[in-house]
Copies of this chain bind each other. A is one copy, B any other.
Amino acid sequence: MMNIENQPDSLLPIALFAGLSLAHRTRLCTLLHRKTFPAKAVVILEDHPGEVAYIIQSGTVKISVLGDEIDTILALLGPGEIVGEMSLIDCMSRSATAETQEECKLLWIDRSAFHDCLETIPLMAMNLVGILSRRVRLANARIQSMATLDIDGRVARQLLAFAHEYGVPSNEGVIIPLRLTQSDLAGLVGSSRESVNHAISSWKQKKQISVDGRYYITIHDSAALAKRCG
């Protein structure tokens, strides 16, 4: 729980801080604190009041809404993403739970510092508007796919979305660098683990995807997956 001291350049690749002047970034360094969480740590707990927002420096964070036996996964967020800002904006309690998937290096900022920056750094407010707008677009696309596609289509769409978001190209296709279990995918598309297994298995047989090291999916034929959606 130390502040990050003198690395204003490390803030540049973060969407929320994109384009900020050195002076602003230097000031932010005094307001941001570092904390490393182990794997499976609960960073934000549903229904609790929210006093801080986090920015992911490394690792991935799972955002989910817990239910009776069924957890709905709202997002898997990676480096550069901001987490938990909504409770700071509208003062409502946490609408979901956030937990680390692996060890994660996070930056955090408290409510008053966050508001202070938003009010005094117009560009940061504009960046936040862009980030939220993008999230609304993504959420709408997801609502549409849940309303119109069958399970296979929804899984295909989710994989393509991750590939587009985080995918790293290779000579074999696009690798999705996220720990993705079939249960996670089921939580993401709103279905049962078995149904997801059926989709994944059939695509594996057709060599359209493959799975390495148990979790990491590579898409070989994204056109074939795209045909399953819209």
A119-B122, A125-B126, A132-B129 as given contacts; A140 in contact with B90, CB under 8 Å: no
Judging by beta carbons under 8 Å apart, are B137 and A136 in contact? no
Copies of this protein in the complex: 2
A143-B142, A146-B190 as given contacts; A130 in contact with B72, CB under 8 Å: no
Pick from B126, B135, B189: contact of A136, CB under 8 Å: B135
Q: Which residues of B contact A48 (CB under 8 A)?
A: none
Q: How far, in whole Å, are A5 and B140 apart by their CA atoms in the complex?
A: 35
Q: Which residues of B contact A136 (CB under 8 A)?
A: 86, 132, 135-136, 139
Mask, A115-153, CB within 8 Å of B = 1, is: 000110010011011101111110111111011100000
The answer to the question of A213 belonging to the interface, with a C-beta cut-off of 8 Å to chain B, is: no
Q: Which residue of B lies closest to A128 (CB)?
A: B129
Mask, A25-64, CB within 8 Å of B = 1, is: 0000000000000000000000000000000000000000
Given contacts A90-B134, A139-B140, 7 further A-B contacts (CB under 8 A): A65-B144, A67-B148, A86-B136, A122-B125, A132-B135, A132-B136, A136-B139
Residues of chain A touching chain B, judged by Cβ–Cβ distance below 8 Å, are 65, 67, 70, 72, 74, 85-86, 89-90, 92, 95-96, 118-119, 122, 125-126, 128-130, 132-137, 139-144, 146-148, 187, 189-190, 230
10 A–B pairs (Cβ distance < 8 Å), ordered by A: A67-B144, A67-B148, A86-B133, A90-B130, A95-B140, A136-B136, A139-B139, A143-B146, A146-B147, A146-B190
